[in-house]
Structures are given as structure tokens and as C-alpha cells.
Structure 1
């Protein structure tokens, strides 16, 4: 059986999640207090309803307890976000993901039952900062508070050299887990694999190690 999802709060963040899940053919219940936003998603989500998520009776009537995963994407109303999360936890929702407005909000959410807390503005800021550093840094994904994955394009400092020659693991404590080359993907590449200019390396490691790797091998001199 397909999992069923609910997205509470249809602003830019919640709306984009709703669209992507729906695009994948998944069952999505879209909820918001704003009638215009709900009308916008009536043709996108499986069901779109005007409802107050801080009212437990309303959520029960919507059958929220049958939903596998609820995403709370309420905008600026931190109180509504917290109260909604508490109600969902009490109703026994299997998985609750909540958007946090700030670090204080995030701490409280983690204590009251949120399974996963998303900090889109902060996380996007980190990704953009890494992209700004160099045209060769294509993407940056945070795995935890101190570990990340970075996607980089091989430039002059790496091209024509093998992984064993670059000695990335020993020198920087990072691991190259895959190499994208045109349409091919080399998973767990051999140490003797020669890096070609334009290759895209998927590198995983601690943030402090990735930072050294980026500064020494990725960021090209002007």
C-alpha cells in the first residue's frame, strides 16, 4: 500500500512539498486555514481542506490518524506549529516532520514529539554559501550537525590525477563515494581511478574535513 501524507500549511515551503509528493503519485491531504491557498491545491493534492490544525476534534474528523507521515509547514505562527505537533503526537501519528523558524523553535519541537525538524532557511543558507565559494561546488547536503555530502566538479587541481595520488581520505579525512562522468556513475571508485576534468565527485565527511578539502582541492585560484 502507498503511504499517505498530510501537509499542514501551504505556504512556499509546504506548497512545494505538496506539489512534489503529488507529482510522484502519492496520496496527499493538504490543509490550511487560508481558503485561497486551499483552492490553489485542490487540483494538485488528493484532498485539500480548510481547517484549523490546532483543533484536535477537526484533525480527528479529517482522519489524520490514518496518515502515515504528517509535515507541519506552518509559516510564522510558532504557537500554532507547536500545538499542532503536540496534538499529532498525542494522536499517535507514525512520523511527524516540522519546519522550524529558529533554533529555539527547533529545540522545543524536538522535545515535544517531532521526529524530524527542518530548518529550510538555515540549511539553504549553508548550501548557497558553499556554492558561492566556487563554481566547482555544485551542491552541499547536511547529513547531521557535523557531517555532510558535497558534490564538486573536478577542476585543474584534480584532473589528470588518480584518487590514490590525491590521497583525499588520508589528507582530508573525506571519502569519494561516487564519480559522475557524463552519463555514467562510478560507485565506490578504485584508488587507481584517474580523475578527468569535468568529473563530478560525491564526497562525504565531517564538515571540518570537507572545508579543508574544498579550500585545498576544489576552490580554484583566480
Structure 2
């Protein structure tokens, strides 16, 4: 499903960051927050920004929340407000609801409410930083599930000048290089004859264990 309109409840650092990026990507964004200063700061950035209490059903109805494709509850300092706003968005029939959780318990409550996606910004960032600290070639990674991951890896000196058939990550480790980001552009679904260079970035998909084994082999 392609989403075109987003409503973001809570314009703190997390909510405003999402809003700015969505605007950069060309989407329409309504921001809602009780803090007048935050709303004023984002009023020239988002499509619309309003001062309102998103824990009141009549308020969400008045701003047309039910007409948005996706609702993001980015409230972090008030768990009760986060839960209430989430329930109201679900009851109003917003197609997809994403919510920030500040703890595992908060996340479990949101899950029971029926949130489509729960985000743990601090926890997830901590996990990413830890992986990057112990894996010098790792730029970023996305956890697709508890088992599968997509990782961005710098091409180290030991792989520079080698073709994918020589590297053979699928045959040796079970993971696949699905794209190569080169300074001149990205190669999607590279062939066995494509050659890696030192400044390239490999996009690798596989199980966590397969990718860890591949990282270990190129990190020696």
C-alpha cells in the first residue's frame, strides 16, 4: 500500500525528524502537539501543524485524522497520552498506525491495542551502534525479522578488484549481495561478473549468522 498523507502525534525530536524526512520525500504531513512552541517551530516545515490535544476524540475528528493513510504516535514523555492517542487513531479507522514505545511494557500494551508497527528508537539505535562498533565494515543494517537482515558493508581492501563470482558470498556463506552502491551510481541485482572497488558499498541480505560469517571473513 502506498501512503500519501501522514498525521504525526507529538513533535518532539523523534516526531519532528520523521516529519521533516517525509516532507523531503514529497508526502503531505500534519503535525499535532500540545506544545505551542514545537508547533510553531514545525509550522513552516510540515504541510500543516496544529496545537491540539490528541487524547481527545473530538480534536482528532476536527483535524480530519480519519482521512490520513498513516498515523504516527511519537509521544515519548507521556505513556498514557501515547496509548490514548493510539487507541483513538485505531478507532477512527486510520489505515496504518505506527507508535513509538519507550519501554518493553509500553510496547506490549501497544501491541495488544493492535498497532501495526512499534518502534523503539533508543533501543534500536543502541543495537545499531553496538554492531557498528564491533564490525568496522558495517555502515548500517535493517532487521527484516528475528532471523533475516539487510546490511550495508564497505568493500574492504581484500575484496577490491574482485568479481562477485570470486567473492562468492552465496556459495561460501549463504548470503547474497543484492546491490552495489558505487560512487557513479547503484547497481541493482549485480551479476557474477560485476567487480567490487574500494569505495563501493555492498547491500547484503541473509540470516544474521550468514552475514556475521561474511563480515568476519572480510574483516580479517
TM-score, structure 2 length as denominator? 0.91
List gaps (5 residues or longer) in structure 1. none
The alpha-carbon deviation at position 156 of structure 1 amounts to 2.6
Deviations 1:33-72 (A, max 9, x none): 1111111112122221121111112111221111111110
**Residue in 2 aligned with 1:45?**
46
**Residue in 2 aligned with 1:103?**
104
**Residue in 1 aligned with 2:118?**
117
Q: Secondary structure at the match of 1:157?
A: helix
List gaps (5 residues or longer) in structure 2. none
**Residue in 2 aligned with 1:126?**
127
**Residue in 2 aligned with 1:211?**
212
Aligned residues: 219
**Residue in 2 aligned with 1:65?**
66
Q: 1:56 to 1:151 in 2, by over 3 A?
A: same
Deviations 1:126-149 (A, max 9, x none): 222222224422222222222211
CA-based RMSD? 1.9
- In the TM superposition, structure 1's runs of 4+ consecutive aligned residues that sit over 6 Å from their partners are none
Aligned counterparts of 2:41 and 2:203: Cα–Cα separation in 1: 38
Aligned counterparts of 1:201 and 1:92: Cα–Cα separation in 2: 40
Say if 1:172 and 1:210, in contact at 8 Å, map to a contact too: yes
The alpha-carbon deviation at position 193 of structure 1 amounts to 3.0
The alpha-carbon deviation at position 2 of structure 1 amounts to 7.9
Say if 1:7 and 1:29, in contact at 8 Å, map to a contact too: yes
The farther-off stretch of 97-106 and 188-197 is 188-197
Say if 1:123 and 1:142, in contact at 8 Å, map to a contact too: no
**Residue in 2 aligned with 1:152?**
153
